[in-house]
Amino acid sequence: MPSTFNITILGGGISGLSTAWYLSRSLPKSCKITIIEASNRLGGWIQSRRHGEQGILFEYGPRTLRPGGLGGLAVLELIKSLNLIPSLITIPKTHPAALNRYIYYPDRLNKLPHSLLSLAPSLSRAFIRKAIPGILREPFVKPANTDDESITAFIARRFNSHIADNIMSAVIHGIYAGDANQLSVRSVFPSLYYYEHYYGSVLKGLMRGLKEVEDKKELERELGECVGDLINDMSKISIFSFKDGIQMIVDALERELRKKENVAIKMGEKVVKLEIENEKAKVYTESSVFPSSHIISTLSSHILSRILTPTLPYLSQTPSVTVAVVNLAYSNPSLLPVTGFGYLIPASIPNNIYSALGVVFDSDAVPSQDKVNITKLTVMLGGHYYYGMNSIPNEDELLSHARWVVSNHLGIREEPMLWNVTIQRECISQYQVGHLDRMRELHHSIRNMCGGRLSVAGASYLGVSVNDIVLNSRMLAGRVVEWIERRRKLNVTGLESVEEIPTPII
C-alpha cells in the first residue's frame, strides 16, 4: 500500500456512513477516508424529526427495521457497536402491529392472515377466498423455463391473478412504491425464484427452505458471534425502532466517524465530475478537487452515470421513483377503526385518484416514541404513479390528498394538530426485469474499465432496505480491507456477489 492511500466516499447516506465506519475500524491511520455529501445534513432518506411543543416524532423515511436474516444481523451488530441497545423500542411478534396488517380493497380494509391458524377465520372474507384456488394449485404448476420475469407474471402464473394484482401489488407498493408489472422477481424476491428453480414449487420451498451457501454460513457465524446474546433477545421481535427514530443510527455513526483521525466529512459539496483515467482518479465538486486512490460511490446509479468518465453500461438503466410522505398527528388517541401496523393499497383499487400507496398507523406500529397519547399516521403517495410526470402536486395539495385518503378509507375527518409533508425525489430504485444481468455486466465493466479505482454501493444495485444496504456496505468494506492488507492492487467493484450466483444447498 502506498504511504498515503486516499479513499473517497461519495454520499453521506446510510450506505456511505456505514461503509466509512467499517473501513475506519480496520484500516490503518495512514489510510485517509473522505466522505463527500452534497447537502448540509447526513443520513440520506433517513430523517427523524420532532415537531411542535410536545415534540411529536415524525419519520420522513424508513421507520422500522427487522432483526431477521443476514441483513438483520448486520444491523444488530452495528447497533451493538454504536451502543444503541438502551434506545431500542421493540415490537414482539405477538403485538397487534405484528399480527394485524391490512390491504384496502376495493372499498374496505381486509386483514391479511399472519399464519395458517389465522387463515380459517379469514375465509369468510371474499378477498381471502379468491386467493385459495391459487394457493391450492401452486404445487402442481410446472416451472417456467425463464431466467427472469416480472413479479406479476410470476405470481399470476404460479398462483392466480387475484393474488398477483391485489396482494402482491400492494406488497410492492409498500416496499418499492413500484409497479409489480415491471419489477424483477429474481432481484426483488430471489427466494421465490429459487423455490421454483430447486423445488418446482414456491409452497414446497417455503415448507422445506433453502440452506445458505457455505460462504453465507461463515458470514452468519461471524455476525452471530459479534451480536452475541442480542440474537436471543431479538428472536421474538417482529420489528424495532429507537426512542428518537431511525435517525439515531445516523447520528451515532456521525459521532463515531468524527472521532476518527483518518476520517473527514465534507458537507455542502456537490460532486459535479468524476474522472478515472490512466489509473488516476479525481473527484470534482463545485469548489474543490479530491485526488483519490479509490472511490466508493453510494450515489444513485443514474446520478453516477451523469458525472463519471469513462461511460459505463447500464448505470443509467435503473430508474427511481419519487414518494410523497405526509405525516399526520391528531390529539384524539382513538381515531383508528382497527389496530395494527397499517394498510397497503394495490394498483387494482378503483378510484385511487390521489395515487395513494399505503398508510402506516405510527401510533400503533411504534408506540412510546411520543410522551402524549395521540393518533399518528403516515400516508405515502406517488411512487410509480408519479414516474414520468412533468410535475407532481405541491405540499399543500399533497396534504389535502392525504387527508382525503384517511377520511375516505378510515373515516378520520378531524383537523390534525400537526402535519408535515416531505417529497422524497427519486428515493427508491426500481429493479426491473433483467436487473441481475445488467448488474453482472456493470460489474465486469467497472473491473475492466476503471483500473481498480471505483466501487459502487447503495440502493441502486443489490437491495433497497436499510438491512440490505448495511450488509452490502459491510461486505464491500471487508473486501477493500482484505485487498489493502494483502498489498495487492485494489480491484473491488461492490458487485462481486452477482458475478457467480451460488447454488443454495437443498
The pLDDT of residue 209 is 75
Confirm whether 52 is domain-assigned.
no
Of the candidates 429, 449, 474, which is a domain's last residue? Answer: 429
Of the candidates 384, 405, 429, which is a domain's last residue? Answer: 429
Confirm whether 214 is domain-assigned.
no
Confirm whether 201 is domain-assigned.
no
Confirm whether 168 is domain-assigned.
no
The pLDDT of residue 503 is 55
Label each residue of 433-453 as H, E or C: CCHHHHHHHHHHHHHHHCCCC
Shared domain for 325 and 304, answered yes or no, is no
Confirm whether 106 is domain-assigned.
yes
Of the candidates 378, 403, 429, which is a domain's last residue? Answer: 429
- pLDDT band, residue 501 (cuts 50/70/90): low
pLDDT tops 70 at residue 214:
no
Domain span including residue 353 = 96-126+320-429
> Which cell is 100 given?
394485524
The pLDDT of residue 310 is 92
Shared domain for 353 and 276, answered yes or no, is no
The total number of structural domains that make up the chain: 2
Q: Looking up cell 420532532, which residue turns up?
A: 50
pLDDT tops 70 at residue 200:
yes
Shared domain for 444 and 388, answered yes or no, is no
The pLDDT of residue 213 is 56
Shared domain for 299 and 310, answered yes or no, is yes
Shared domain for 280 and 408, answered yes or no, is no
Q: Give φ, ψ of 63 to 5 degrees.
A: -125, -20
Shared domain for 305 and 329, answered yes or no, is no
Shared domain for 119 and 252, answered yes or no, is no
List pLDDT tens digits, range 235-245.
Answer: 999 999 999 99
CA distances from 275 to 306, 432, 453 (A): 12, 29, 10
> Which cell is 461 given?
444495485
- pLDDT band, residue 154 (cuts 50/70/90): very high
Q: Give φ, ψ of 324 to 5 degrees.
A: -95, 125
Shared domain for 476 and 449, answered yes or no, is yes
- Which CATH number belongs to the domain containing residue 33 in this structure? 3.50.50.60
Average pLDDT over residues 442-462: 95
Average pLDDT over residues 60-69: 96
Average pLDDT over residues 21-44: 94
Confirm whether 60 is domain-assigned.
no
Confirm whether 181 is domain-assigned.
no
β-strands 109-111, 101-104 pairing: antiparallel
The pLDDT of residue 490 is 80
The pLDDT of residue 216 is 78
Shared domain for 326 and 397, answered yes or no, is yes
- Which CATH number belongs to the domain containing residue 118 in this structure? 3.90.660.20
Shared domain for 424 and 324, answered yes or no, is yes
Mean pLDDT of the chain: 93
Percent of the chain with pLDDT over 70: 95
> Which cell is 410 given?
378510515
* Residues 179, 176: Cα–Cα separation, whole Å: 8
- pLDDT band, residue 276 (cuts 50/70/90): very high
Q: Is the peptide bond before 106 cis (omega within 30 degrees of 0)?
A: yes
List pLDDT tens digits, range 366-385.
Answer: 999 999 999 999 999 999 99
Shared domain for 309 and 456, answered yes or no, is yes
The pLDDT of residue 119 is 64
- pLDDT band, residue 504 (cuts 50/70/90): low
Confirm whether 240 is domain-assigned.
no
Average pLDDT over residues 419-443: 97
Shared domain for 327 and 309, answered yes or no, is no
